[in-house]
Structure 1
Amino acid sequence: MKQICQSKYEQETSEHEYEFLEQQIAYYNLPSQSFECSTISHHPSIDSIQNLTIREALMKQFKEVAIQSRNALFNLYLESAEDQREEYKKKHEASVKKMDASQSTLNENEKLSSTLVQLINERCNKISERIQSIYKFKLENFLSKSNL
């Protein structure tokens, strides 16, 4: 039971973390979060260059590198979160299969009662609801801070 509940917790957390990350990335890709709106785009050393052609060329190159780096970082975050999500999903499925398999191979005295199996399923559902509530709050908090 502990193993199934723990794997359910990890699966739900990684699933909601992935979705939360996607929403954060979508926010940071909004026009209001563009390079031009960021503090990094107004760097004193670039602004101090007197030659307009050199300053614009340097600023263009600076912008391209910053955008490429941000996109690469976002992709790395998503890839890592996806890998973790898949790993925990497989782990939970394996735990459930293990319990189901043991139910069919054990003798009557060793089998889990149907009530206990139902309680395990209910506990997993409560874990899912709890994690969902946590990430709903987390997203609302993120969005409210973002709109300031």
Structure 2
Amino acid sequence: MIHICQSKYEQETSEQEYEFLKQKIAYYNLPSQSFECSTISHHPLIDSIQNLTVQEALKKQFKEVTIQSRITLFNMYLKSAEDQREEYKKKHESNVKKMDASQHTLNKNEKLSSTLVQLINERCNKISERIRSIYKFKSESILLKS
């Protein structure tokens, strides 16, 4: 039971974290969060260059590198979160399969009662509900910013 509940917690948390990350990335891709609106776009060192041609070329290059780095970083975050989500999903499914398999192989005195199996499932559902509620609140706070 402990392993199943723990793996359900990890599975649901990683699932919600993945969805939350996608929302945060969407937020950071809004026009209000563009490079031009950020504080990094106005660097005093670049602004201090007297030659406007050089200054504009550096600003353009700085913008391109920054945007590309941001895209690369977001993709790495998503890939990592997706990998973790899949790992925890498989772990939880494995734990549930072990429990189900043990129900068929154990003798009558060692098997879990149907009531206990039902309680484990209800506990897992409550874990999922709680985590979804937490991430719903987090998502709403992101939406309020935008």
TM-score under structure 2 length normalisation: 0.98
1:80-117 deviation per Cα after TM superposition (whole angstroms, max 9, x unaligned): 00010000000000000000000000000000000000
Residue type at the aligned position of 2:134: I
- Pairs within 5 Å for 1:28-43: 28-43=28-43
- Pairs within 5 Å for 1:68-147: 68-144=68-144, 146-147=145-146
| Deviation at residue 138 of structure 1 after TM alignment | 1.1
Any conservation in 1 of the 2:10–2:88 contact (CA below 8 Å)? yes
The CA RMSD measured in Å over matched residues stands at: 0.7
Residue type at the aligned position of 2:17: E
SS of residue in 2 equivalent to 1:95: helix
Which segments of 5 or more consecutive residues in structure 2 lack a partner in the other structure?
A: none
Any conservation in 1 of the 2:8–2:124 contact (CA below 8 Å)? yes
Tell me whether 1:57 sits opposite 2:31 in the alignment.
Answer: no
Counterpart CA distance in 2 for 1:37 and 1:134 is: 30
Residue type at the aligned position of 2:120: I
Counterpart CA distance in 1 for 2:88 and 2:120 is: 18
Any conservation in 1 of the 2:27–2:142 contact (CA below 8 Å)? no
Aligned residues: 146
Tell me whether 1:20 sits opposite 2:16 in the alignment.
Answer: no
TM-score under structure 1 length normalisation: 0.97
Counterpart CA distance in 2 for 1:81 and 1:11 is: 11
SS of residue in 1 equivalent to 2:73: helix
State, as a whole percentage, how many aligned pairs show the same letter: 83
Counterpart CA distance in 2 for 1:14 and 1:119 is: 23
